[in-house]
Amino acid sequence: SAEKLEVRFAPSSHAYDGRYANNGWMMECPDPITKLTWDNAIQISPTLAKELESAQGIQIFPAKKPMNKDSAFFEGAKGTLQTNKANFRRGKEEAVVVELTVNGVTIEAPIHVVPGLANYTVVLPLGLGRKVVGRVGQGVGFDAYAVRTSSSLGCALGASIKLTEKTFHLANTQEHWSMEGRALVRENTAAAYTKTPDFVNKIGVESHAPSNYAKDDGKSLQEKSVNQYRGNSAYEHPAFSKPLPNVKVWEGNEDKFPVPQQWGMAIDLNSCTGCTACVVACQSENNVPIVGKDQVLRGREMHWMRIDRYFSAEKYDQTEVPDDVQVSFMGMMCQHCENAPCEQVCPVNATVHDSQGLNTMAYNRCVGTRYCANNCPYKVRRFNFLDWNKRQIGEFYKGPLGPVDEPELEKMNANPNVTVRMRGVMEKCTFCTQRIESAKIEQKRLAGASDDIRIPDGNIKVACQQACPTDAITFGDISDADSEVSQMKASERNYSVLGYLNARPRTTYLARLRNPNPEMPDAYEKPYAYAQYDERYGHGSHGDHGAGHDDHGAGHDSHAVPAHDDHSAHGHDDHGHDHSSH
């Protein structure tokens, strides 16, 4: 009951049992479920939160703000936005501080509501709140060991919670938890997949929209990757299969032109567990800076890759935060779009496309307009608001007037093959271009006088792929039909996120399959995410209409609702705003 709670002690995703409390990469990596950084919080269920709120009269959930049911907005949106599970003010989660009493010992800590927890069980993450630790872990989080005894190492019974009037800012990197019925993470059951293996083509906008490639829709992935067919685009791209018209050296020798390899990625959502190993691997490989809690609160985290976590409920009730949920994870980084929206708005050509299909960054051209970040539908671009790598800690806001602090020991922490970015510059995932270039140099060395300069499949592993414990990420040459990534993209489960925008991302996803036991009382016909899409947008399966638009991963995403869908793949708030007025 709410008066006699069960307490579960669990290692923190940031510090484990405390041994990593001084590791900045771990502190800033969001927890896979709570999405919190630089803190731990007492995790409670929505049911317990509602009972505490009702009994003690202190608000935990945000006030309900139903949309006007008589408005055109409501009709267009087909419902209200899902109630959030925390109060946010200008991007900062305002968590209620509580007094938790266990075995006569009381601690104070903020609470965080987590759908899916048992109703009267609270979770205390261990390892933070250390008093004697290095400068990174000093004063981070609360110490849960204070209420843990040798007789209750794993759990304790009879705990109680008292809400206080105090609040605490938690650095949460994902404000909204619901897909709002949109088909971002596509799921089905194994049984349904055997009957309709191409189900990903039959949901979302693409299921009833013209193909992005128009008359060239039937071409193979390999042909599309090197020829860059115009399709329904507003303008034509130069084909990678031919030399550029302004390079005269190939005139009369077009047949000798070496067609560049085309790089792409596939992420299998069946295999992804949301562990975030890829996030830290990317940070290590690409010299991504640690910015600290204050800057994360302002939406300035710098991770090139993030793991979006969504909850889906059996009953789609936008007015309540559900208890029984299914969790979906999606790794999101720069998609390296062939029709990249960011490239079209950069006034100085700082972000451009190369002949290998990469969306590249020229850091010394960037003047920091941030137009590209505004125009990115995936919200994966990161801006260096401050000089993280050069200035003394605590002196960032002085900019070029701040004292320089570049210890030689810390310089050795950086990857020498990757540029260290400066203040005022935009950055993002590069598909580990330094590894691609290194492999090209090595292959040319091995080739000698021969023309065997194509990199064999499997020679390049990007950092996130290398770190993934379940091999969910595949990277390689999509112009080679026999490459592993091409075979992954040939799967009927392959789709693009927000593909209806005709951005043509080089990164595609393989839909997740769940396998419920039909004999169990909680067996379901459709995964909750798929059922919510069906319920909210009322189309379900469209038969064969619009199926199979694009074996290059033509995306399949849920309906674009002009009233509230900002085309962001990160719920309804990408937490990428500058809250510098605070």
Dig out the tokens for 32 from the structure.
């896979």
Q: What is the pLDDT of residue 35?
A: 92
Q: What is the pLDDT of residue 442?
A: 93
Nearest to 18 by CA among 154, 149, 170, 143: 143
Domain boundaries, the chain: 5-172, 177-228+263-337+457-574
Nearest to 173 by CA among 523, 575, 525: 575
Q: What is the pLDDT of residue 474?
A: 95
- 205, 542 contact by CB (below 8 A): no
- In order, the DSSP letters of 495-554 are EBTTGGG---BSEEEEPEEE---TTSTT--SS-HHHHHHHHHH-----TTTT-S--TTT-
- The tens digit of pLDDT for each residue in 360-399 reads 999 999 999 999 999 999 999 999 998 888 777 777 777 7
Q: What is the pTM of this model?
A: 0.86
Instruction: Answer yes or no: is pLDDT of 193 > 70.
Output: yes
With cut-offs at 50, 70 and 90, classify the pLDDT of residue 546.
very low
- In order, the DSSP letters of 200-253 are GGGSSGGGGS--TTGGGTTS-HHHHHHH---TT-SS----TTS--TT-GGGTT-
* Lowest-confidence pick of 47-51, 230-234, 426-430: 230-234
Give the CATH fold of the 177-228+263-337+457-574 domain: Alpha-Beta Plaits (3.30.70)
- 36, 177 contact by CB (below 8 A): no
Which CATH entry fits the domain spanning 5-172: 3.40.30.10, 3.40.190.170, 2.40.40.20, 2.40.30.10? 2.40.40.20
- The tens digit of pLDDT for each residue in 124-169 reads 999 888 888 888 888 888 988 888 888 888 888 888 999 998 999 9
